[in-house]
Amino acid sequence: MIYTVTVNPALDYVIQMEQLDWGEVNRSNNCSFLAGGKGINVSQILNQLGVDNTAWGFIGGFTGKELVRQVNQRRIVSDFVTISDATRVNVKLHAGKETEINAAGPTITKQEILAFEDRLNVLQKGDIVVLSGSLAPSLPVDFYQQLLPTIKAAGAEFVIDTTGQALLDTLSYRPLVIKPNHHELAELFNTTFNSDAEMLNAARKLLDLGAQNVMVSMAGSGGYLVTAKHAYHANAAVGTAVNSVGAGDSMIAGFVGTYVQAGDLSECFKMGMACGAATAFTKDIAIKSQIDAVLPQITVEQIS
């Protein structure tokens, strides 16, 4: 079983209008509420791949009820902790350019944190927990890291999608896969890359620090997967990128979903690249037919 974690989900209030006149009364052409959250995005792709999963996190208030309604509508199995504060609302304003106003998130009490930690008691050997997304401001900055000993003690694997020191602090617990893009990878080591060889050497340093597998996304240049035995390169699919939101989540979902079904790392990488591209080519999270259309474009080559 795969468990996705979104500790600070949101209802995205998407407003579309021709133009915005600051200080004036404006009328929108269209508006909608959409359930958002990186772990929820992962669950959506896993559903498209036919992989059993459960979404965990915190929800509360009337906004939380609407988020759960939409999650249920998408046939995502969830087991959220209900909190006394309300799930946040993020505003996405489309008026020529896109402007985002993201709320910080709700207050989560110690009792509610303990209720979430109780969810981990169901973990068994072979399960995978995907930890991704921002933390609510009331959670400790090392919240994800605090969960890792329990996850590993159960014999489960984990995937973490974060950056910087927060990522480095988890590597000793041996995440199944991490997915920095090439810019984030350079920032981890306070450097710049003059060649792909330098980038691959940096990825191998993350293996030395504990990561089991490292995927490096490079937008139009494709991506790399570095494992304990080999390095692979995949080309980028051809298409018009219209959406960057959720592409990285989709890439992780493709990798992890294929891992529990097949376990072949090159196939996991190929599906991850296909899912990421399919989402980038659509305005929402990709569906199976879109993933299937992109998959034949992806070629994975072992380079070492």
- 56 in Cβ contact with 80 (< 8 Å): yes
> Which residues does the annotation mark as catalytic?
249
Strands 157-161 and 128-132 turn out to be: parallel
Identity of residue 117: E
Type and span of the H or E element at 300: strand 300-302
What DSSP character marks residue 6?
E
- Tallying the residues shown for the chain, one arrives at 304
Pick from 267, 270, 281: which is nearest to 238 by CA? 281
Identity of residue 12:
D
Alpha-carbon span 206 to 37, nearest angstrom: 26
d(CA 115, CA 134): 19
φ, ψ (nearest 5 deg) of residue 226: -115, 125
Among candidate residues 218, 222, 251, 226, the one with its CA nearest the CA of residue 235: 222
CA–CA separation, 229 vs 200, rounded Å?
A: 13
Residue 229: burial class (beta carbons within 10 Å; 0-12, 13-18, 19+): exposed
Residue 246: DSSP 8-state? T
> Is 138:174 a contact under the CB 8 Å cutoff?
no
Residues linked to residue 226 through DSSP beta bridges, in sequence order: 214, 231
